[in-house]
């Protein structure tokens, strides 16, 4: 199992737009083949860091998931929403493998 952690730098004046974006991914991600852990928006401390976290079985499963997501109408709409509203300043993905369970 691989875990993808997406770190977003968001515009702190547009947190509500990010939350709308996150709720939409909450619908799209599971139906396209990844296990969504959650989306997290700032509350205390940094006002610009947000995270999206999900699991996939392996990199091949990730590629299949990305292909499905690219053809999902709601996924395409959500991507366009982010581009129009410009609440994401940057986005970085980190892939981790859990090592504490045999």
CA–CA distance, 98 with 56 (Å, rounded to integer):
12
**Dihedral (C-alpha) 17, 26, 98, 89: value to the nearest 10 degrees?**
-20
pLDDT per residue rounded down to tens, the chain (102 residues): 999 999 999 999 999 999 999 999 999 999 999 999 999 999 988 899 999 999 999 999 999 999 999 999 999 999 999 999 999 999 999 999 989 876
CA–CA distance, 57 with 86 (Å, rounded to integer):
31
Give, in order, the Cα–Cα distances in Å from 52 to each of 24, 67, 93, 102: 12, 19, 9, 25
For the domain with range 2-97, which CATH number is right: 3.40.50.2000, 3.30.70.100, 1.20.1560.10, 3.90.1200.10? 3.30.70.100
Q: What is the pTM of this model?
A: 0.91
pLDDT tens profile 38-59: 999 999 888 999 999 999 999 9
Give the residue from 53, 45, 37, 54 showing the smallest Cα distance to 12.
45
């Amino acid at each position: 199992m691989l875990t993808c952690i997406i770190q977003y730098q968001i515009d702190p004046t547009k947190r509500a737009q990010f939350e709308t974006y996150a709720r939409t991914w909450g619908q799209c991600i599971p139906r396209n083949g990844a296990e969504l852990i959650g989306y997290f928006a700032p509350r205390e401390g940094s006002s610009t860091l947000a995270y999206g976290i999900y699991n996939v079985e392996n990199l091949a499963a990730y590629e299949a998931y990305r292909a499905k997501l690219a053809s999902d109408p709601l996924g395409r709409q959500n991507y366009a929403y982010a581009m129009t509203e410009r609440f994401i300043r940057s986005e970085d993905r980190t892939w981790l493998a859990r090592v504490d369970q045999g």
